[in-house]
Structure 1
């Protein structure tokens, strides 16, 4: 039961913190000037505030769950000393405190999403990046030592940030497409502008994914599918390939179709097709994050 709760909390934290970082970053690299003001194109104030509050609550629950699983104590008065020990005397605890501080600062930044929109998004992006990076301490990299541990963490950070950028962009496009009358000029421009960022994100995810595999499993694939870890990893790769297909469809067919429809004024079909594609791609991304949350609790050792 505790394993299931742990996986569910890890999954929820992945989704929440990636949205915090990815949505704020999207506002910086895709939107311009007054478009970054909360409510002008996207309701950054409410969206980021929700992710900050949920991130804090999920982090509290995750720490309590971890202490409960490690101590076996059920009573709160007996569990509290174990939580204190984990928070102040372990690397995971220090990472947890850094995440809570980053979330607190991100909440402060959100308060100025109307007055100083660019500065608010910039600070929220930085804080989101820090909060998202702290999840690496709950992964396989924390089991390494010395320089190998440092390089593993760096790879994990890059992987998390790239994935967060992709998830945040998908969420932003989905929100733009949900509007009754999508701002077609902004939507078309941001879709086209995401081509470079998207290519960089895919490259980083691919390279860091291979490096992470070498860190965790090593240069060996023999018998990998004999373990639960290997089977879940294979499923993750298949779903990642499906996301690449959706991304290529958006890039080479649906985005040009939207631009053509925008010029003719008949954009209903193009918008509907994009909505369907974005929903499917985001759904696949969510399933991948669920697999990642599960993989982080498993050993790659063959069963």
Structure 2
């Protein structure tokens, strides 16, 4: 296990999920005008997050080159690095991501909600360009790539939504929370549906349906089972928020607020664990040992 590379992949996924998910959720949940007002509160932190994402993208790229050459992270063979950057799908994905993140900085400073949401989603789905889906060919490969990109965007929306709710719950105004809570149920339901469908498509494309029964015999399969268990725990927490805590907040916000904050913290933490597992899974041959 290459722990530093896995941590870098996790950092990239977490940062990109917030960059795509926060403005997209605010747009969907609050509308353009109210969402822009909410985003304006986050301009400086969001710009810093974009800078961090660019740094992580560069470090992740250097780690990838180091893995190819067997050299230390910062002892870079720039000739090989240049070749990887311009001639491989993974390199082009990093280059495209850096351009999109740079474009997003002035958009964040202006709280330009819809352009920022679109740019953030495009930056996030670059991870699919360098993942298992990148090896596909023809129509099958295109379907796999599309499913992977939708999967990334849906996951980012869910994680970004939880982050928005957690930030809103820190403020005393109840009106800052209610629209997001009310919108989270349909948005969360849609994202869960997309995650399930695209996850099944990705699994069938990567491993093959006929190999599913053998997966638990492999490291990839056991990690995937852990990821699915974590996803199931998130669903249970989301159901508790939707059917118990959200109605309670409507009638007794003072009583519900602490419980909601705790529940969303736990749900978001599990979501970050899922991203860590995704980073690890991306470095394993899915069919090894089958």
Match among 192, 198, 201 for residue 202 of structure 1: 192
Larger mean Cα displacement after TM superposition, 164-173 or 26-35:
26-35
Query: What residue in structure 1 maps to residue 169 of structure 2?
Result: 177
Note the C-alpha offset of 1:71. Answer: 1.3
Answer yes or no: is the 8 Å Cα contact 1:152–1:215 preserved in 2: yes
Match of 1:94 in 2: 92
Structure-1 residue corresponding to 2:228: 237
| Contact 1:223–1:302, Cα closer than 8 Å, also in 2 | no
Q: SS of 2:110's equivalent?
A: coil
Long gaps (5+) in structure 2: none
2:62–2:73 CA contact under 8 A, matched in 1: no
Report what 1:12 is aligned to: 11
**Residues 226 and 302 of structure 1 are in contact (CA less than 8 Å); yes or no, is this contact kept in structure 2?**
no
Q: Alpha carbons of 1:65 and 1:87: their partners in 2 closer, same or farther (altered >3 Å)?
A: same
Q: CA RMSD in A?
A: 1.8
Q: Select between 7-16 and 192-201 the one with higher mean Cα deviation.
A: 192-201
Conserved? CA contact 1:239–1:288, under 8 Å: yes
Which residues of 2 match residues 111-122 of structure 1 at below 5 A?
Answer: 111-113=109-111, 120-122=112-114
1:213, 1:76 → 2: CA distance? 35
Aligned counterpart, 1:28: 27
Indicate the residue corresponding to 1:288 in structure 2. 274
| Map of 2:265 onto structure 1 | 279
Distance in 1 between residues matched to 2:158 and 2:70, nearest whole Å: 38
Distance 1:287 1:11, change over 3 A: same
CA distance in 1 between partners of 2:206 and 2:229 (Å): 19
1:290 shift after superposition: 0.5
Count of residue pairs brought into register by the alignment: 288
Q: Which residue of 2 aligns with 1:140?
A: 132
List, as ranges, runs of 4+ consecutive aligned residues in structure 1 with deviation greater than 4 Å.
75-78
Which of 234, 253, 269 is equivalent to 2:244?
253
Cα deviation for residue 13 of structure 1 reads 0.6
**TM value normalised by structure 1:** 0.90
Moved more, 9-18 or 27-36: 27-36
- Say whether the 8 Å CA contact 1:42–1:176 is kept in structure 2: no
How far apart, in 2, do the equivalents of 1:223 and 1:89 lie?
35
Q: 1:76 to 1:227 in 2, by over 3 A?
A: closer
Deviation at 1:206, TM superposition (A): 0.5
Query: What's the offset of the Cα at 1:164?
Result: 0.2
In the TM superposition, what whole-angstrom CA distance separates every residue of 1:242-274 from its partner, at most 9, and x where no partner exists?
Answer: 11111111111100000011xxxxx33210110
Distance 1:246 1:74, change over 3 A: closer
TM-score, normalised via structure 2 length: 0.94
